[in-house]
Amino acid sequence: MVMSGIALLVVLGIGYTWLTRGFFSALIHLICTVIAGAIAFALWEHVSLAILNAAADRGFTSFLRDVAWGLGLALPFGVSLAVLRVIVDKLLPANVTPGTAADYAGGAICGMGAGVISAGILTISIGFLRMETEFFGATHVSYNNNGNVVRGNGLMIPVDRLTVAFYGKLSEQAFATNEPLAKWHPRLEEMPASLRMNFGDGKARNTIKAQDFNVVSRFTVGQSGGNLQDLVNDRWNTTPQNVVDSYGKPYPPGSYIEGFVVNFLAGSKEKEGKTTIGAGQLFLVVENEQEGKRTTVYPIAVSSQAESTGQAGFARWRYDARDTFIASVGGAAEALFAFEFVVPPGYTPTALYVRGIRHVVGEGSTAQPSAKFASSAQRDGFIATLAGARGGSIPGVGGDSGGAAPGSNLDTSQAIKIEWGRGAPGQAQVGAINPAGVEVTNAIGFTIQKGTHDPLVIDEENNRNLLVEGEKVFEPDYAQKTVGMERSLRIERFAVTDDTVIVKIDVSLPSRTSLLGQAAASVDRILPPLLTDTNGQSYQPVGFIYKDSTKVQIRYTPGQPIRALTETPSLSRSRPDQQLTLIYRVSLGVSVNKFVLGSKVIAEYDPPFPLTTRQTGR
How far from the centroid of its chain's Cα atoms is residue 570's Cα?
A: 29
Confidence of residue 422 (pLDDT cuts 50, 70, 90): low
C-alpha dihedral, 364 to 330 to 148 to 355, nearest 10°: -50
Backbone φ, ψ for residue 51 (5° rounding): -65, -45
Least confident piece of the model among 141-145, 400-404, 596-600:
400-404
Instruction: Report the alpha-carbon distance of residue 435 to residue 421 in Å, rounded.
Output: 7
Q: What is the pLDDT of residues 87-96, one digit of tens each?
A: 998 888 766 6
Q: What is the pLDDT of residues 328-344, one digit of tens each?
A: 988 888 899 999 999 99
Least confident piece of the model among 61-65, 203-207, 233-237, 385-389:
385-389
Least confident piece of the model among 119-133, 393-407, 428-442:
393-407
Report CA-CA distances (Å) from 292 to 169, 187, 258: 12, 15, 20
Contact 93, 150 (CB under 8 A): no
Q: Is 145 exposed, middle or buried (0-12, 13-18, 19+ CB in 10 A)?
A: exposed
Instruction: Report the alpha-carbon distance of residue 605 to residue 618 in Å, rounded.
Output: 28
* pLDDT (0 to 100) of residue 311: 57
Mean pLDDT, all residues of the chain:
87
* pLDDT (0 to 100) of residue 426: 40
Looking at per-residue confidence, does 94 or 615 come out higher?
94
Peptide bond into 607 cis (omega under 30): yes
The whole model's pTM is what?
A: 0.86
Residue ranges of domains in the chain? 2-191, 208-390, 416-610
Q: What is the pLDDT of residues 215-266, one digit of tens each?
A: 999 999 998 887 999 999 999 988 889 999 999 999 999 999 999 999 999 8
Confidence of residue 167 (pLDDT cuts 50, 70, 90): very high
Per-residue pLDDT for 425 more than 60? no
* pLDDT (0 to 100) of residue 424: 44
CB-side exposure of 15: number of CA atoms within 13 Å? 15
Per-residue pLDDT for 544 more than 80? yes
Confidence of residue 313 (pLDDT cuts 50, 70, 90): confident
Contact 37, 122 (CB under 8 A): no
Mean pLDDT calculated for residue range 47-68: 87
Look up residue 526 and give its amino acid.
Answer: I
